[in-house]
Amino acid sequence: MTKKTRGSKFITRRRLLTTVGTGAMLAASPFRINVVKADEPTIKVGFPVPLTGPYGTEAQDQVRAAQVAIAEFNDAGGLNGRKAELLVRDDKLNPGEAATRALELIEKDKVSFIVGSLSASVQLAVNNVTKERKIIYNSISQSDEINEAKDFSRYTFHEALNPHLTAGAVGRYAFPKFGKKVAFLTADYAYGHEMVRGFQEAGKAFGIETVIDVRHPLGTSDFSTLLPRIQALKPDILCISNFGRDQQISLKQATDFGLKKSMKIVAPILLYTGRLAAGAQAFDGVIGGTSYYWGIEDKVASAKAFNDRFRKMHDGKVPSDYGAMGYAGVKVVLEGAKAAGSLDSEKVIPAIEALKYDYYKGPEYYRKCDHQAVQSVLIIESKSKPEKGPADVFNVISTDEPSEANLRTCAELGFKS
Amino acid sequence: MAGLSLDLIAVQLFAGLALGAIYVLFAIGLSLIFGMLTVVNFAHGAFFMVGAYVGLFVLMMGGNFWLALVVVPLVVGVIGLIVERFLVRPLYGRGIDYPLLLTFGLSYIMVELIRIAFGTTGYPFDTPELLQGAVDIGIGYFPLYRLFVLGAAAVVLLVLWLFLEKTSYGLIIRAGARDPQIVRVLGVDVSRVWLVVFGVGTGIAGLAGVLAAPLQGVIPEMGSTILAEAFVVTVVGGMGSIGGAVIAGLLVGVVVSMTSLFAPEMAKVSIFALMAIVLLVRPQGFFGRAGLMS
């Protein structure tokens, strides 16, 4: 009897692939197909993301945004007339599955680049494959490890933020304002652990005291037994470092337990999609970091341009934070290829390293030693009520400007200069 | 162990019992259908999820939470009736794995239909205004809504118990579960009894879903976690024993709660560890009838 309780994974892969595939075909601007010479194959960009599973919503938005980058590249004439194509694969949030899909994309589909993944461990698995096959991989998910010398290769790029940078930015904002007694509620896997380390390292300068670090299993649907302890310790700040549905449920239940009355809740990353799914009540007043929020379009011209293209292609929707990284990730490799005038990894790498770009959120560039995108972190606070339409969910209350000083140094990461 | 006080342990114990009541609520429909029909309803989690979505739909249509509490069990119960009449009924007498596989497949279809109708993204489900916030229960603060769910679980159990033990229809149901043939000889239409039981079981699953929605939001996959939890509770309590499910649910809640206090990262595993231990010592569970599965 007991082994049957496993039957709880739901597969929608086929339906998703059909939808996504059709979308990708539409995006590839049918009117130009006859211009492409038959003997010139398209430039293939592999895109393994967890379409099914707990991060499906975010992954689907990554696909939508990546399609915008592909369409833009093709509309601008491609690489000397060669068009690009996005090959979306479901990695099911599983490192093994992701490695298999990556290998398949390289061997069978002959992709020139791989962009994607939405988990620290999954991106490391993909990276292992790509660095061995000498294919450029641009990761669009948070990880500290991927920057470190032992996992890095010259084929590895990291467009996403990393936990050290994100948690650091949120910590630098929150610790001086709300107090020194800090409790942590953390998803018990690499992402959560790295975020806590990021908070604690940033906190050293402010002399913070960790009162407790509660680690909860990934995919917890009830936090009622974890919260009383935190409440009893009366911290000034509670850092909740988890992701997706875990974040939605924990914030909702923390609100129900009245934790917000006695402490400030901060999260390293506040997800746009998560806020929509959990509602204003649960996220109300929570402060967090993000790589992108569509609302910066009033101030940042490239954000406005990107949002408008996204809206046009996807019935008026605005891109999410993780979605936008899908756009930037694909855009970077295609622009790199354009600058190099080639698809040869060895020529594209220096071209990407030389990019100084502002595609959607302000200036960015890749640091030479670890290929980490040096970029801003937005500090946002969740609104108690949307004012201008349902997408109006966050206030940007501060911006951590791009600076290598906020990253771990190349020497710390194990790179010899 | 910083901050461990007697008050905290008391709150923790209470939180465990409250969580246990939620587990009981999740499990009771499953246990009822198994106990009376020997059908292992793998679509239990899906009915639970559909309950939450029907509740959501009632809210979208301008209804309120209280209306949803009435509408949901009726709608989901009717879906259950249809499923029993046209899908499960032809499989009676063919062995326990037929309906098991059927409901397993059905759960995929139900989840997929909900995804098509409502999308793959989750929806917020705010706690009803009357029940928002936390109240002082003497040892600490506890969310009012959870206390409400605790009460609701007790009411559901009480009504179910009265129905099964104190009404003549309940007598027929119990008799039908023991020996359908004799009951049939006595002139009772047993298939109608089974229809009702299945409808009641799924209706309770739906009610549990709408009660859980304000705790965790609404998402097509929300049934899969509770299916596992409901099975553990049913197995530990003894397949088919409603009283056993109640005791097992509360026990599982307390075990999770105490594990959460001392080793929170083990909280999820502790449920299954408990089940393994119980099964080793007592394979039929606390109050299970031996041989029900064969």
Question: How many beta-carbon contacts under 8 Å exist across A and B?
Answer: 162
Contacts of B130 (CB under 8 A, 6+ apart): none
Architecture in CATH for domain A164-290+377-406: 3-Layer(aba) Sandwich (3.40)
pLDDT at A14: 55
Q: Mean per-residue pLDDT for A52-80? A: 92
Q: Mean per-residue pLDDT for B147-168? A: 94
Whether the per-residue pLDDT at A34 is higher than 80: the answer is no
**CA-wise closest residue to B48 among B181, B184, B222, B290:** B222
Using alpha carbons, list the distances in angstroms from residue A381 to A115, A297, A393, A407, B76: 30, 17, 9, 23, 39
**B122 contacts A245? CB cut-off 8 A:** yes
Higher pLDDT, A306 or B136: A306
Q: Tokens at residue A232, please?
A: 């009893």
Question: Domains of chain B: which residue ranges?
Answer: 15-123+140-220
- Tell me the torsion sign for CA atoms B43, B45, B46, B52: positive
Best probe of the A interface among B141, B236, B254, B262, by most A CBs < 10 A, is B141
Distance CA A114, CA B176 (A): 61
pLDDT at B31: 92
Shortest CA distance from A262: residue in chain B: B141
Of B15, B120, B239, the CB nearest to A225: B15
Q: Are A147 and A413 in contact (CB under 8 A)?
A: yes
Got the DSSP string for A329-352?
Answer: HHHHHHHHHHHHTS--HHHHHHHH
Whether the per-residue pLDDT at A17 is higher than 80: the answer is no
Q: Are B28 and B157 in contact (CB under 8 A)?
A: yes
Q: Are A276 and A393 in contact (CB under 8 A)?
A: yes
Of the given ranges (A215-219, B54-58, B68-72, B208-212), which has the lowest mean pLDDT?
A215-219
Residue A76 DSSP symbol: T
- In this prediction, residue B292 has a pLDDT band, given cuts at 50, 70 and 90, of low
Got the DSSP string for A20-65?
Answer: HHHHHHHHT-GGGGGGS-TTSPPEEEEEEE--SSTTHHHHHHHHHH
pLDDT at A36: 46
Q: Mean per-residue pLDDT for A315-319? A: 95
Distance CA A219, CA A383 (A): 26
Q: Tokens at residue A177, please?
A: 């304002």
Best probe of the B interface among A52, A225, A226, by most B CBs < 10 A, is A225
Collapsed DSSP state (helix, strand, coil) of residue A241:
strand
B256 chain-A contacts, CB cut-off 8 A: 225
Q: Tokens at residue B246, please?
A: 């109640």
Q: Are A76 and A82 in contact (CB under 8 A)?
A: no
Taking only the tens place, the pLDDT of each residue in A295-315 is 999 999 999 999 999 999 999
pLDDT at A162: 94
Distance CA B234, CA B283 (A): 12
pLDDT at A39: 55
Whether the per-residue pLDDT at A31 is higher than 50: the answer is no
Pairing of strands A356-357, A364-366: antiparallel
- In this prediction, residue B239 has a pLDDT band, given cuts at 50, 70 and 90, of confident
Higher pLDDT, A352 or A12: A352
B102 chain-A contacts, CB cut-off 8 A: none
Mean pLDDT, all residues of chain A: 90
Å between A187 CA and nearest CA of chain B: 9
Distance CA B266, CA B259 (A): 7
Of A5, A220, A279, the CB nearest to B227: A5
Q: What's the CA angle centered on A279, arms A122 and B128, to 5 degrees?
A: 135
pLDDT at B293: 56
Å between A20 CA and nearest CA of chain B: 14
Query: Token match 């694909």: residue?
Result: A330
Q: Tokens at residue A223, please?
A: 């936090």
Length of chain A: 417
Q: Tokens at residue B245, please?
A: 């499910």
Of B146, B239, B269, the CB nearest to A224: B146
Architecture in CATH for domain A2-161+300-374: 3-Layer(aba) Sandwich (3.40)
Whether the per-residue pLDDT at A78 is higher than 60: the answer is yes
Q: Tokens at residue A134, please?
A: 């000498």
Q: Are B219 and A277 in contact (CB under 8 A)?
A: yes
Greatest extent of chain B over all pairs of C-alpha atoms, in Å: 67
Identify the bridge partners of residue A46 per DSSP, sorted by sequence position. Answer: A87, A114
Of the given ranges (A292-306, A402-416, B174-188, B214-228), which has the lowest mean pLDDT?
B174-188
Q: Are A327 and A291 in contact (CB under 8 A)?
A: no
Taking only the tens place, the pLDDT of each residue in A320-336 is 999 999 999 999 999 99
Distance CA A335, CA A136 (A): 13
**B269 contacts A2? CB cut-off 8 A:** no
Whether the per-residue pLDDT at A291 is higher than 90: the answer is yes
pLDDT at A41: 87
**A249 contacts B19? CB cut-off 8 A:** no
Q: Is the Cβ of B1 closer than 8 Å to some Cβ of chain A?
A: no
Q: Are A59 and A66 in contact (CB under 8 A)?
A: no
Q: Is the Cβ of B26 closer than 8 Å to some Cβ of chain A?
A: no
Whether the per-residue pLDDT at B291 is higher than 90: the answer is no
A226 chain-B contacts, CB cut-off 8 A: 260, 264, 267
Complex prediction ipTM = 0.90
pLDDT at A33: 45
pLDDT at A302: 97
Taking only the tens place, the pLDDT of each residue in A351-392 is 999 999 999 999 999 999 999 999 999 999 999 999 888 999
Q: Are A88 and A76 in contact (CB under 8 A)?
A: no
Distance CA A284, CA A265 (A): 10
Pairing of strands A156-158, A136-139: parallel
Taking only the tens place, the pLDDT of each residue in A159-168 is 999 999 999 9
Distance CA A114, CA A260 (A): 42
Q: What's the CA angle centered on B171, arms B165 and B173, to 5 degrees?
A: 105
Q: Are A217 and A54 in contact (CB under 8 A)?
A: no
**A280 contacts B267? CB cut-off 8 A:** no
Taking only the tens place, the pLDDT of each residue in B151-160 is 999 999 999 9
Q: Are B213 and B31 in contact (CB under 8 A)?
A: no
Shortest CA distance from B214: residue in chain A: A252
pLDDT at A5: 41
Alpha helix ranges (H) inside A215-357: 227-233, 244-256, 259-262, 272-278, 280-283, 301-313, 321-340, 345-353
pLDDT at A354: 96
With a pLDDT cut of 70, the percent of chain A lying above it is: 90
Higher pLDDT, B275 or A3: B275
How many angstroms from the chain centroid is the CA of residue A249? 20
With a pLDDT cut of 90, the percent of chain A lying above it is: 84
A279 chain-B contacts, CB cut-off 8 A: 124-126, 217
Question: Domains of chain A: which residue ranges?
Answer: 2-161+300-374, 164-290+377-406
Distance CA B234, CA B229 (A): 9
- In this prediction, residue B284 has a pLDDT band, given cuts at 50, 70 and 90, of confident
Whether the per-residue pLDDT at A20 is higher than 90: the answer is no
Q: Are B236 and B278 in contact (CB under 8 A)?
A: yes
Contacts of A203 (CB under 8 A, 6+ apart): A171, A175, A182
Using alpha carbons, list the distances in angstroms from residue B128 to A383, B38, B69, B146, B215: 20, 37, 12, 12, 11
